[in-house]
Amino acid sequence: MAIFVNADTKVIVQGLTGGQGKYHGLRNKAYGTQVVAGVTPGKGGTDVEGVPVFDTVAQAVAATGATASFVAVPPKAASAAILEAAAAGIAFIVCITEGIPAQDEAKVFNTLLRNHPKTRLLGPNCPGIISPGKCNIGITAGEIAQLPTAKGPNVGIVSRSGTLTYQALYELKQRGIGVSTCVGIGGDPVPGTNFIDCLKEFQADPETHAIILIGEIGGSAEEEAAEYIKASVTKPMSAYIAGVTAPEGKKMGHAGAITSGGKGTAKGKMDALRAAGVKVGLNPTEAGDLMAEILASMAR
């Protein structure tokens, strides 16, 4: 099993005819993902290396039965693209677009919540999701993800940082540790999917035996996750929080990565996770080492 996406997931790429959409969409297809269509207004009836292109998401869904969408369009068009996909019945939307104003993100989030409660948005400004060997939607390189094994143990990954998502995957691959699903939720202030959403799915997934959480400074998502872990997660976890040396009041990387008034600090998040029973590493490699130790103890 896996969470959110699997080998049966049929994907459309909104923006397949653009540079980024074509590059990453075809990489996803080459990985084995069922990329069944592209959507670009005005280019319906054409194709991109054999993948048919439609003018609207509704047309693409009707023709292919797609249930997931990869949104790779510029910031000005991204909000409309997400809502178009939801209106067409797409259940899972991955938006990699960065630079969407927080106000627009909030409007989209609340519109989905109100009008399309069965649609899940991942992102925006995220690397996407990969269930190794089954499905890859987004910009993650499939070759750095270790395939899960039938007996396990396999690890689920959830991360706010794109780059550290890749490092977490590679740290596990170097140790021969399989990954059930890796979810990059993105670091913007209003993510469509949060830590708790992913932790809930990993806890219920029989193929996931342990979990790595990668967080960063800013906001309260990690502290909220720690409370949820304490109450509802029984699977062992390791974690890493980026931004230990970040000066207060200065944005670091993601729009949501800013500490203010003593809140949102790396130390506060690390303390909260430790109090919830999570083993916290001081760098990504140490988080990988801690996970290897956890799995070794499970095998005894």
The tokens describing 170, both together, are: 């590679």
Mean pLDDT across 191-199: 97
Rg (CA), the chain: 19
| Residues 116-143 pLDDT 10s | 999 999 999 999 999 999 999 999 999 9
Residue 171, pLDDT > 50, answer yes
Strand extents, DSSP E, the chain? 10-14, 34-39, 47-48, 51-54, 68-71, 92-95, 120-122, 128-131, 135-138, 154-159, 178-184, 210-216, 237-242, 279-281
- As assigned by CATH, the class of the 10-122 domain is alpha beta
Q: pLDDT-based confidence at 256, cuts 50/70/90? A: low
Q: What is the mean pLDDT of residues 214-234?
A: 95
Catalytic residue among 24, 116, 209, 254: 254
CATH superfamily of 141-299: Succinyl-CoA synthetase domains (3.40.50.261)
> What confidence category does residue 195 fall into, taking pLDDT thresholds of 50, 70 and 90?
very high
Whole-angstrom distance, CA of residue 144 vs CA of residue 159? 16
3-state secondary structure 48-68: ECCEEEECCHHHHHHHHCCCE
Take residue 188 and report the two structure tokens written for it.
Answer: 């913007």
Q: What is the pLDDT of residue 299?
A: 73
Write down the domain spans for the chain. 10-122, 141-299
Average pLDDT estimate for 284-292: 96
Q: pLDDT at position 252, please?
A: 55
- How far, in Å, CA of 177 to CA of 236, rounded? 15
Q: What is the mean pLDDT of residues 243-272?
A: 68
What is the residue whose two structure tokens read 């990453």?
A: 24
Q: What average pLDDT does the chain have?
A: 94
Task: Determine the pLDDT at residue 53.
Answer: 98
Q: 170-176: long-range contacts at Cβ-Cβ below 8 A with a sequence spacing of 24 or more?
A: 170/144, 171/284, 171/285, 171/287, 171/288, 172/146, 172/212, 172/288, 172/291, 173/144, 173/145, 173/146, 174/288, 175/288, 175/291, 175/292, 176/146
Rounded to an integer, the average pLDDT of 246-251 is 60
d(CA 53, CA 148): 33
pLDDT for 253 beyond 80: no
Q: Do domains 10-122 and 141-299 have the same CATH topology?
A: yes
**Is pLDDT of 251 > 80?**
no
The confidence score (pLDDT) of residue 260 equals: 47
Alpha carbons within 13 angstroms on the beta-carbon side of residue 94 total 30
Could you read off the pLDDT of 5-23 as tens digits, one per residue? 999 999 999 999 999 999 9
**pLDDT (0 to 100) of residue 52:** 98
Is 24 labeled as catalytic in the residue annotation? no
Burial (0-12, 13-18, 19+ Cβ within 10 Å), 70: buried
pTM: 0.94
Q: Are strands 128-131 and 178-184 parallel, antiparallel or unpaired?
A: antiparallel
Of 1, 2, 70, residue with least CA distance to 35: 70
What are 24-81's pLDDT values in tens digits?
999 999 999 999 999 999 999 999 999 999 999 999 999 999 999 999 999 999 999 9
